[in-house]
Amino acid sequence: MKTIFARAAAAALLLVLTGLAAAADPEPADTKTAIKDDARSAGHTVADKSRELGHAVAEKSREVGHDVADKSKQVGHEVARRTQPARDKVRDTSKQAGHAVADAARTVGKDVKEGAVKVKDAFSDKSAPASKE
């Protein structure tokens, strides 16, 4: 990459020097045409080398990006694999706690219902109306 940049810089310098030389000395038309052609050629060379350099940088950047993405995916899967037992344990413990709460609530509900029935029966027996005769 550095050699491409160096070549492009040299071509640009040649273009500038050629332009300065052309401006300093009025020359015959054939020489001006030759200088113009040389400058055009140098400009095209700079453009071509710059494009090649840009494409090389883009390709390398794409490769690095894909490598980073692959490594990131591997790390993510490794983290998931290593934390699976802990996540399973949390899930199972949570499920057990939920079942225990539900069982306790069911037992309390049954006890309350039985207590209400006993109280109702106790009041029903005492408050039975005496027959009026």
Please answer whether residues 12 and 42 qualify as being in contact, where contact means their C-beta atoms are separated by less than 8 angstroms.
Answer: yes
More confident residue, 35 or 23: 35
Q: Is residue 14 part of a domain?
A: yes
Print the domain residue range for 51.
Answer: 2-96
Range name among 37-41, 93-97, 100-104 with the lowest pLDDT average: 37-41
Q: Residue 17: what pLDDT?
A: 67
∠ CA 4-22-48, nearest 5°, is: 20
28 is a domain residue: yes
Total tally of structural domains belonging to the chain: 1
CA distance 56 to 63: 11
Please report the pLDDT score of residue 2 as a whole number: 64
Does 59 fall in a domain? yes
pLDDT band of residue 10 (cuts 50, 70, 90) is confident
Give per-residue burial for 21-30: e unless 16+ CB within 10 Å, then b: ebeeeeeeee
As a whole number of angstroms, the distance between CA 107 and CA 69 comes to: 54
Give the range among 7-11, 19-23, 48-52, 124-128 with minimum mean pLDDT: 19-23
Q: Does residue 117 belong to any structural domain of this protein?
A: no
pLDDT by residue (tens digit) across 98-116? 999 999 999 999 999 999 9
Is 23 a domain residue?
A: yes
Residue 82 inside a domain? The answer is yes
**Least confident interval from 24-28, 46-50, 63-67, 113-117:** 24-28
Tens digits of residue pLDDT in 55-87? 999 999 999 999 999 999 999 999 999 999 999
55 located within any domain: yes
> What torsion do the CA atoms of 107, 113, 117, 119 make, to the nearest 10 degrees?
90
Residues with Cβ within 8 Å of 21's Cβ and at least 6 positions away in sequence, in order, are 35
Q: Is residue 106 part of a domain?
A: no
